[in-house]
Amino acid sequence: MTAQSYSAVIRRYGEPLSVEEVEILEPDPGEVVVRIEASGVCHSDLSLARGYYPDIPIPIVPGHEGAGTVVEVGDDVTSVKKGDKVFTIWMASCYNCEYCLSGRFHLCENALESIVNASLPSGKLKIRDKAGNSIHHFTSTAALSSYTVVHEKNVVKLTVDVSLEKAAILGCAVLTGVGAALKTANVKEGSTVAVIGLGGVGMNIVQGARLAGAEKIIAIDIYDSKLEWATKFGATHLINALKEDPVEAVKKVGGGGVDYSFEATGNVVAMELAYKIAKRGGVVTIVGVEKGGVNIRIPALDLHMTEKTIKGCYYGSSSPRLDSLKYLRLYKAGKLLLDELVTRSYRLEEINEVFKDMEEGRIIRGVVVP
Ligand SMILES: [Zn+2]
Ligand SMILES: [Zn+2]
């Protein structure tokens, strides 16, 4: 059976999205249809709409933080059944390539291929517009929809009692942010940390650093409202980069710099700032997504003499299936905040408004309830 869905569609990069009635084709073996009941809007959905990934084909349905109910299953599906509550993850790790076999599921080369092609893992496109033309699936999930068809590898069954609105943001913001601190950078107890950019990912880096037992956590942003909010997640020092020189301010708090600096804005200036505020021997983790073709400038002699480490961070170096359920248990134990991450709910028709609120720093995470 095919399903009718309302979906946000990017038809042209740099232009407002449309919300369209589309058809979701029936699942092949291994695939499921999910009725999406909540879908977080991530900065990379916004970056996609702005045209930051010009090689990703359009038209495309964005969205990768979906949560909802499985309404149909294809043959050979084993991990979920009809009626299960699930949330999406945006790597359909194959469990078979050299990366998966070495436990680095977030680097799976086969999942990456479907992300680049903006298709399902099978390579197929299963969304049709009214004229019958195919539409692409962002990160194989296309979750900014009322229904979506995904491979079962792209969903995790919700085994903990939590609302779908909260579960939705596990799939990217929490996995990426908490993972950046705990797994990519491996923040040590008693260390100093600075986080630049306090969106959904940045706030989770702050709370990841808190979970790791960092002694000082410096939050840096240009909005006072977000800075204040960061104290809930564990920030111990706040710097408004418009009001004071962040390099000097961090040096003062961190005694010359921090052990771990993180960039979570997707802006190259912030990435270079992250390098500057790390102390000698420090670890610089670049989490944000810049436009294709932009380069970070690092002073070569300084890099030699300070022995800093610069790390890229993809999906928080997570094992998405395992780590997301671990973070849910931490939430249930009162150790990880989820409720405080969702600032506002929107209807799908308001998708362009969510993007505007993100750009103007009004929300941490907006969740669309289709
Ligand atoms: Zn995301
Ligand atoms: Zn793989």
Euclidean distance between CA atoms 225 and 223, whole angstroms: 5
Q: In whole angstroms, what separates CA 150 from the centre of its chain?
A: 18
pLDDT at 283: 98
Starting from the CA of residue 175, give the closest ligand. Answer: 1
**Does residue 322 sit within a domain?**
no
- Are residues 183 and 162 part of one domain? no
- The arithmetic mean of pLDDT across residues 284-309, rounded, is 95
**Does the CA dihedral 301-302-307-309 come out positive or negative?**
negative
Starting from the CA of residue 106, give the closest ligand. Answer: 2
- Are residues 247 and 226 part of one domain? yes
pLDDT at 361: 87
- The arithmetic mean of pLDDT across residues 190-199, rounded, is 97
**Does residue 331 sit within a domain?**
no
Starting from the CA of residue 91, give the closest ligand. Answer: 2
**Does residue 159 sit within a domain?**
yes
> Is the CB of residue 66 less than 8 Å from the CB of residue 143?
yes
- Are residues 183 and 165 part of one domain? no
In the chain, the amino acid numbered 304 is H
- Are residues 349 and 212 part of one domain? no
Q: How many percent of the chain have pLDDT more than 70? A: 100
- Digit-coded pLDDT (tens) for 58-71: 999 999 999 999 99
**Does residue 325 sit within a domain?**
no
CATH number of the CATH domain containing 205 = 3.40.50.720
**Does residue 326 sit within a domain?**
no
Report the separation in Å between the CA atom of 23 and the middle of ligand 2, taken as the mean of its atom positions: 30
The number of folded domains in the chain is 2
**Does residue 321 sit within a domain?**
no
Report the separation in Å between the CA atom of 238 and the middle of ligand 2, taken as the mean of its atom positions: 40
Q: Token match 């009692």: residue? A: 161
Report the separation in Å between the CA atom of 250 and the middle of ligand 2, taken as the mean of its atom positions: 39
Report the separation in Å between the CA atom of 187 and the middle of ligand 1, taken as the mean of its atom positions: 22
Euclidean distance between CA atoms 54 and 68, whole angstroms: 30
* pTM (two decimals): 0.95
- Are residues 270 and 239 part of one domain? yes
- Are residues 281 and 151 part of one domain? no
> Is the CB of residue 13 less than 8 Å from the CB of residue 58?
yes
Which residues of the chain form beta strands (DSSP E)? 3-9, 18-24, 31-41, 60-61, 65-73, 85-88, 127-128, 134-137, 147-151, 155-157, 192-196, 216-221, 237-240, 258-263, 278-286, 309-312, 342-346, 365-368
**Does residue 101 sit within a domain?**
yes
Q: Quick check: helix, strand or coil at residue 93?
A: coil
Q: State which residues form the domain around 48.
A: 3-171+337-368
- Are residues 64 and 195 part of one domain? no
pLDDT at 175: 97
DSSP labels, 19-77: EEEEEEPPP-TTEEEEEEEEEEE-HHHHHHHHTSSTTS-SSEE---EEEEEEEEE-TT-
- Digit-coded pLDDT (tens) for 22-38: 999 999 999 999 999 99
Euclidean distance between CA atoms 279 and 254, whole angstroms: 8
Starting from the CA of residue 100, give the closest ligand. Answer: 2
- The arithmetic mean of pLDDT across residues 337-364, rounded, is 94
With cut-offs at 50, 70 and 90, classify the pLDDT of residue 3: confident
pLDDT at 292: 86
Structure-derived torsion over alpha carbons of residues 184, 190, 194, 199, reported in degrees to the nearest 10: 70
pLDDT at 160: 86
**Does residue 146 sit within a domain?**
yes
> Is the CB of residue 48 less than 8 Å from the CB of residue 142?
no
Report the separation in Å between the CA atom of 63 and the middle of ligand 2, taken as the mean of its atom positions: 22
pLDDT at 1: 67
The DSSP call for residue 244 is S
Report the separation in Å between the CA atom of 176 and the middle of ligand 1, taken as the mean of its atom positions: 8
- Are residues 195 and 289 part of one domain? yes
- Are residues 186 and 133 part of one domain? no
- Are residues 198 and 66 part of one domain? no
CATH number of the CATH domain containing 34 = 3.90.180.10
Average pLDDT across the chain, whole number: 96
- Are residues 135 and 284 part of one domain? no
With cut-offs at 50, 70 and 90, classify the pLDDT of residue 185: very high
- Is the pLDDT at 238 greater than 90? The verdict is yes
pLDDT at 101: 97
Burial class (CB within 10 angstroms; exposed 0-12, middle 13-18, buried 19+) of 354: buried
- Digit-coded pLDDT (tens) for 112-158: 999 999 999 999 999 999 999 999 999 999 999 999 999 999 999 99
With cut-offs at 50, 70 and 90, classify the pLDDT of residue 225: very high
- Are residues 123 and 82 part of one domain? yes
Q: How many percent of the chain have pLDDT more than 90? A: 94
